[in-house]
Chain A
Amino acid sequence: VTPIERFAALAAGRPLDRLPCVPIVGNTAARVLGVRTAEIRRSGELLARAHTAAYRRFGYDVVRVFTDLYVQAEAMGAKVRVPEDETAYLQKPAIANAHEVDRLLPADPGKDGCLPAHREAVARVVDDLGDEAVVTAAVTGPFTNASFLVGAETLARLALREPAVVRHLCEISLETALRWADAILDAGASPSITDPMLSSTVVSPRQFREFGLPYLERLVTHIRGRGKAVTLHICGKTRPVWALMADTGADCLSIDNEASLTEAKAAVGKRVCLMGNVPPVAVLFESDPAGVRQAVRTCVREGGDNPRGLVVASGCSLPTETPFANIDAMVRAVDEIGWPLRVTEASA
């Protein structure tokens, strides 16, 4: 059974061999290939080879071409620091304050920043794995991208003081996201959206409605209009905004371990597939295979009977140095649970 067949069965409510399993591998892919993280960020060929190698090594279901959330903002002028062998981080927003917004232009995936390299990577992975695995590439949501353009704290203040500026930043970020999504779709893959700044750890549900929903709705509608299902991931607390996340039109909501699958299932399980939420740090990074197995079983006990299905995933992208044995254990635990789901300890 290929991952594509598995997802098709899940979507149609048909029996499967096991639930789809997605340890969200990002820079860990560099470790599988034995190259440095900065190398996969700048080389389309290496990025593709790393993710293809990681997929073959672990046997999970979704290949997500991803290094960090900054690639779109960088292509619009933000400065990103890229350590040779650690995850990149934002060094300086694209503009210093709200008065400079007119300087910003949407990015061109054909030439700006490392978008061309990442586009090449997506096309190569689709060539290699497209007929068996679900191939996706990360799109940073408009509000989160806006935070990289002007700085997170500035954006938070502007949300209350100058909402029109925030809307402008979201609009221009949406245009970049749409272009990047189109590039991913043209390469034959599915854009998957991540918008962590919309977490209820950061902004209120009212602010989500104002600065998140309208832009995400347009982005999701566009991608679905081109025939691909959309996953929306938001880290941190999300319970207050699950209904709004479903209102974006997303097919699948990916939630963090700070949110409960049991509650999400009750709240929006009839509307959307759920994806989550094995703790990426406390379990997958820091625990051992036995701990991973327990956490996977808890996850499936909570969300396995979600009406629109469950994808067993990590709550967020995995730390680069996540032990391979733990990723193996995650896939093995989902295998062991099988289908129909066997999660009571007596049968283990």
Chain B
Amino acid sequence: VIRIAAVGDVHFAEDMLGRFSSQWARLAERADVFLLAGDLTNIGSRRQAEALAEELSIVTIPKVAVLGNHDYHYGEPDAVRESLEAVGVNVLEGDALTLRIGERTLGIAGVKGFGGGFTGACGHDFGEPEMRSFMRATEHSAQRLEKALLGLRADFKVAMTHYSPVKDTLAGERLEIYPFLGAFQLAEAIDRGQAHLAVHGHAHHGAERGITPRGVPVRNVAMALIKQPYGLYCLDTHGALQVERDSAEVIVE
């Protein structure tokens, strides 16, 4: 069994220091890896990222993240990335990593993703340069995710995005803003890349559970939605729960 803790949309800032320390300090007892699905900071400043890094420094299991739209707002996403990497967070954007957890391997591919909408109600690479640029950003992001997933050689593969790959996990959000919350191209990449699980954030008022057209489980782990310090998921060839055990040795390959 591989135990995955995942949360998105923490929207951390200096006013939240210490908020999660008690729960995150015990993560190693319950999970093998901690996934952070974007909007890690509230406005994307270095100061906020450094505050989050301090909060995350107590987490001893591997930490893997993608950035979200809020992490870009201040115009210094590289500073956000650097601050998080300084405390051992692996920040993915169109790339992947593999962890060895016990006798199993877990591959994680991540991109921020982007909007565009879903089949039957989506934008196209057509018309004004601004619109074409918007949709090309989505296509490009999805292509990078697919390539990263296909490049993984692991027992289990997880796709992590900030934007949603499916409509299912947006249920509860206003229909008018669906195109700003996700894009079907991400689901296509997840399906083609044969992921076992996809996690995302961004949709605070959506639903936790969804599924891609080819059957990959999708989980929306936005903190405002799950109202927990993280969601917890187990990947197992038999689908059985086995949560009582010692922490596994984890090696980043």
Do A and B assemble together? no
Which B residues fall within an 8 A CB radius of A? none
Which A residues fall within an 8 A CB radius of B? none
